[in-house]
Amino acid sequence: MAAAIAVYCALFLKYKLSRGERGMVLVLAMSMDQAKVVFDYCIGFLAASDVLRQEIVSTTAHEIRLRNGITIATHANSFRSVRGRTLCACIFDEACFWRDDTSSIPDTETYTAVLPSLLTTHGMLIGISSAYRRAGLMFTKHLEHFGVDVADTLVVRGGTQQFNGTVDDARLVAMRAADPTAAASEWDSEFRDDLTGLFDDAVIDRAVNRERPLELPPQPDVVYKCFVDPSGGASSGDSYSICIGHKDGERLVVDVVRGRQGPFDPMAVTREYTALCKQYRVNSVTGDRYGKQWVQQAWRDLLGTYNEAGLYAWQLFLEALAPFNRSLVELPNLSPLVHEFKSLQRVAGRSGRESVECPRGSHDDLANSVAGCLHLLSRVEQQIPMVGAVFWSPSQGWSDEAAKPRSGHAAWAAWYYGGGGGDGGFPGGLTSSQIPGSRRAW
């Protein structure tokens, strides 16, 4: 449909262009592969007509230049690259499924970016998509304009059988029986009720510390925890990610987040991450169940201990809700990480059990390693590192040497934790009940 509309807008509508100015009918798709499919259909429509075929001046990999000064172009969506063109029409293909590694709202940002390019030509902006989440540009336009009589916006909604009468009804019945929720979205154009964002954007933005460096250097007397999300290194696969963090009072601070996208040698990345762990005095890591033996054995050979996570990724994400909502998490200003957290979807299964997933074509590897690290940190009892032992007696007061016992006189001994000495009590003004491990020596 996107290709047919593009050909119609390019050849059958008139636009007022300046002398020497070339207008463009731009089709934006979810990926380069899908853009190529639309491009091939455009070529097919033009080549099938003896009249329209003569309008072609030249073609490239993604553009068709026509004799009337219009170019049909098909590209992957990007709110950065659409600016600065003279657009006679712009078509968003499958806009409900657009994804971008640096933005959680690529459809809305692209919509904002193309509007100035359509201004001088009074060109149309057309969105085409199967229904999906109850969020984003298509859902918003449907919510505001479907069934509403306005001059500048028309929303058309229909099921597969209304737009394509050749589809076999029996097959649709079978698909609806297999997954009613997905079928209502895919075939009946119903926005899904079972998909909602896990985190509010404002919650994630509040957690990002934009004043700090992306990675915090290791500090003495700080206990660090590490979680890894391994990957096999395929070029189109998941990233191999790692997160190291520490607990500061109640706050859970993410010190380091790294991810390596394929292709790569997983053993080489494991060695790199092992060296990073040693810088932070981490001698034990926790990770998911990926790869089982090779992952666990590689980490044990290089570091010593690899613990298999007791929770799945979706469970870690659900556990991370509480500290994020309480503003206890500090994240680095790492755009892919922020995007992954904002894109996570809470999914209600048919059994009623909640789950969490990332959108189609997206990844959650960085967010998974961070959620795993937050889970580990939330179970750390906050302690100031132990630095020595002190003793008190009536004759000597506080000393690092034990006093000789005297009849009727007590000596207190305690392992103490960093801080200044206090008058008439334990260091820092603490009492024995406040110092773990304090004991009485006679």
pLDDT tens digit sequence for 250-298: 999 999 999 998 888 989 999 999 999 999 999 999 997 765 567 788 8
Distance from C-alpha of 316 to C-alpha of 371, rounded to nearest angstrom:
6
**Any domain includes 162:** no
Q: Which of 349, 377, 405 is the last residue of a domain?
A: 377
Alpha helices (H) along 151-218: 160-163, 169-178, 180-186, 201-207
Q: How does residue 406 score in pLDDT terms, banded at 50, 70 and 90? A: very low
Token couple for 191? 């926005």
Based on the domain organization, do 113 and 233 belong to the same domain?
A: no
pLDDT > 50? residue 394: yes
- Does residue 259 contact residue 368 with C-beta atoms inside 8 Å? no
**Do residues 172 and 152 both lie within one domain?**
no
Judge if 140 and 12 occupy the same domain. Answer: yes
Do 129 and 211 lie in one domain? The reply is no
| Helix, strand, coil percent values for the chain (each to nearest 5) | 35, 25, 40
Q: Is the pTM of this model over 0.85?
A: no
Quick one: pLDDT at residue 174?
84
- The answer to the question of residue 163 being in a domain is no
* 310 and 243 in a common domain: yes
Are both 174 and 33 inside the same structural domain? no
Evaluate if residue 401 carries a pLDDT over 60.
Answer: no
Q: What is the pLDDT of residues 11-29, one digit of tens each?
A: 999 998 888 889 999 999 9
Establish if 213 belongs to a structural domain: yes
Q: What are phi and psi of 93, to 5 degrees?
A: -100, 125
Angle at 145 between CA 120 and CA 151, to 5 degrees: 45
Mean pLDDT for 57-86 is 89
Cis-peptide into 180, omega within 30 deg = no
Task: Look up the CATH number of the domain holding residue 48.
Answer: 3.40.50.300
325 lies in the same domain as 436: no
Residue 89 and residue 9 in contact, taking contact as beta carbons nearer than 8 Å: yes
Q: How confident is the model at residue 391 (pLDDT cuts 50, 70, 90)?
A: low
How far apart, in Å, are the Cα atoms of 355 and each of 21, 154, 340? 52, 36, 16
* CA distances to 77, 259, 267 from 270, in Å: 34, 11, 5
Q: What is the CATH number of the domain that holds 355?
A: 3.30.420.240
| 3-class DSSP assignment, residue 321 | helix
- What are the tokens at 329? 């998490």
Domain of 270 in residue numbering reads as 201-377
> Nearest-CA neighbor of 15 among 90, 153, 123?
123
Give Cβ neighbours of residue 230 (< 8 Å, ≥ 6 apart).
240, 266, 270, 287, 288, 290, 291, 295
Q: What is the mean pLDDT of the chain?
A: 81
72 in the same domain as 100: yes
Do 88 and 33 lie in a common domain?
Answer: yes
**pLDDT at residue 414, rounded to an integer:** 44
Q: How many CA within 13 A on the CB side of residue 86?
A: 15
User: Do residues 295 and 402 share a domain?
Assistant: no
What's the CA gap between 132 and 421, in Å, rounded? Answer: 63
Instruction: Decide if 183 is inside a domain.
Output: yes
Q: Is the pLDDT of residue 350 over 90?
A: no
In tens, the pLDDT along 182-214 reads: 777 788 888 876 567 788 888 999 999 999 999
- For β-strands 345-348 and 195-197, DSSP reports them as antiparallel
Specify the number of domains making up the chain: 4
Give domain status of residue 217, yes or no.
yes
Assigned domain for 38 exists: yes
Q: Give, in order, the Cα–Cα distances in Å from 387 to each of 143, 258, 427.
A: 62, 32, 12
Residue 214 falls inside a structural domain: yes
Residue 91 counted as domain residue: yes
